[in-house]
């Protein structure tokens, strides 16, 4: 959670006047997202979300992200819809930062993941992948397999400070992944960060009410997005793997977008890659976050444990995919 930029009441009134969404009646910083500043904005017509993009987001990528949300919304996917100003422009500036207003999405992210959430997630992820197929912009994955070795090298000896022997483990894993990474799987727009914070449900319901936070979205292997979700959703707090959750995720995904045999076979290596990607970025943040910073970095150790699990997996059956 974070609110980085304070916006005055006059600034927000002036900004909202550039849209045809009524007059601002309330405006509160919300504890959502760690990369940007988010406000819940009520006008006399409806609630909206106002996002100010802070320095961790590359402004050159914003047209891709907002264009993607426009595209997905037009396809009927429940995600924040960028609101365009009366001049037609969605990406604007406020308080010296790029800024956009999007529609307000109902629902809540699950604080405790239950198996039914993973079923709904599978449906929503497949629907998202299908809806993105004819989006005609392209953004390379800045955190793809190619980027992991330089990211690891920039951490210096930091890995061994977290856990003795971790550097050697990561180096060996990089060798394995660079050799075995699948090249020819179906690709398209992936979310690339579909953690529980970014998926909304109504309490007790299986169906996803919406997806948010497309600020890591990029073009990559679709099945890699499934692997990211397996790591984010299917491990228990004690890091044990809940195969029922994975079964639900995969069964519901494939009923909307069937997986090829090559994609299924690649799941273990994709899961290892996804675990290493989050291990490395968390390691980097752990080393580079100054003491007393507003945002507490996430513990990289969680992903060491997940990586070890997938290293022992010899067949996608371990994820319950044999039951499809």
Q: Name, in order, each residue with C-beta under 8 angstroms of 167's C-beta and a sequence gap of 6 or more.
A: 157, 159, 160
Q: Give the nearer residue to a second copy in terms of CB position, either 136 or 291.
A: 291
Q: Is 40 in the site for a second copy (CB under 8 A)?
A: yes
Q: Kindly tell me which residue out of 164, 261, 292, 312 binds a second copy, with binding defined by CB under 8 A.
A: 292
CB nearer a second copy, residue 12 or residue 265: 12
79-138 residues near a second copy, rule: CB under 8 A = 104-112
Query: Of 20, 22, 25, 178, which lies in the binding site for a second copy, with binding defined by CB under 8 A?
Result: 25
CB nearer a second copy, residue 109 or residue 256: 109
Q: Which is nearer to a second copy, 142 or 294 (CB)?
A: 294
Conformational region of residue 114, where left means phi above 0, alpha means psi within -120 to 50, and beta covers everything else: beta
Closest separation between CB of residue 29 and a second copy, Å?
4
Written in H, E and C, the secondary structure of 230-286 is: HHHHCECCCCCECHHHHHHHHHHHHHHCCCCHHHHHHHHHHHHHHHHHHHHHHHHHH
Only one of the segments 2-10, 136-144, 181-189, 214-222 lies at the binding site for a second copy (rule: CB under 8 A); that segment is 2-10
What 128-132 contacts at long range (C-beta under 8 Å, 24+ apart), as own/partner pairs, is 128/72, 128/77, 128/191, 128/211, 129/188, 129/189, 129/190, 129/222, 129/225, 129/257, 130/256, 130/257, 131/71, 131/72, 131/75, 131/76, 131/77, 132/68, 132/71, 132/72, 132/188, 132/189, 132/190
Q: Which of residues 42-71 bind a second copy (CB under 8 A)?
A: 42, 47
Least distance to a second copy from the beta carbon of 201, Å? 7
Stretch 181-220: interaction string toward a second copy, x if CB under 8 A: --------------------xxxx----------------
For a second copy, which is the closer residue by CB, 20 or 44?
44
Contact flag: residue 24 with a second copy (CB under 8 A)? yes
Residue 33 or 132: the one with the smaller Cβ distance to a second copy is: 33
Footprint on this chain of a second copy (rule: CB under 8 A)? 1, 3, 6-10, 12-13, 23-32, 40, 42, 47, 104-112, 201-204, 291-292
């Amino acid at each position: 959670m974070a609110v980085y930029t304070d916006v005055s009441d006059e600034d927000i009134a002036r900004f909202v006047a550039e849209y045809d969404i009524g007059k601002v009646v309330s405006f509160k910083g919300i504890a959502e997202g760690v990369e940007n500043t988010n406000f819940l904005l009520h006008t006399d017509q409806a609630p909206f979300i106002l996002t100010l993009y802070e320095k961790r987001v590359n402004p050159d990528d914003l047209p891709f992200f907002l264009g993607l949300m426009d595209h997905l919304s037009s396809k009927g996917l429940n995600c924040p819809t960028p609101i365009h100003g009366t001049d037609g422009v969605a990406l604007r500036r406020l308080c010296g930062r790029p800024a956009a207003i999007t529609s307000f999405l109902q629902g809540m992210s699950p604080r405790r993941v239950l198996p039914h959430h993973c079923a709904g997630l599978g449906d929503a992820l497949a629907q998202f992948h299908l809806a993105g197929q004819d989006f005609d912009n392209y953004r390379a994955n800045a955190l793809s397999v190619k980027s992991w070795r330089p990211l690891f090298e920039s951490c210096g000896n930091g890995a061994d400070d977290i856990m003795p022997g971790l550097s050697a483990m990561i180096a060996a894993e990089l060798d394995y992944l660079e050799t075995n990474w699948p090249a020819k799987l179906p690709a398209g727009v992936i979310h690339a960060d579909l953690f529980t914070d970014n998926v909304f449900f109504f309490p007790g319901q299986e169906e996803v009410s919406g997806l948010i936070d497309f600020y890591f979205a990029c073009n990559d292997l679709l099945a890699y997005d499934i692997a990211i979700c397996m790591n984010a959703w299917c491990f228990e707090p004690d890091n044990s793997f809940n195969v029922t959750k994975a079964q639900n995720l995969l069964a519901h995904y494939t009923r909307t977008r069937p997986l090829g045999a090559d994609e299924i076979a690649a799941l273990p290596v994709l899961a290892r890659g996804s675990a290493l990607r989050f291990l490395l970025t968390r390691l980097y943040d752990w080393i580079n976050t100054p003491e007393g910073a507003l945002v507490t970095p996430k513990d990289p150790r969680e992903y060491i444990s997940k990586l070890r699990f997938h290293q022992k997996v010899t067949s996608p059956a371990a994820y319950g995919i044999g039951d499809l």
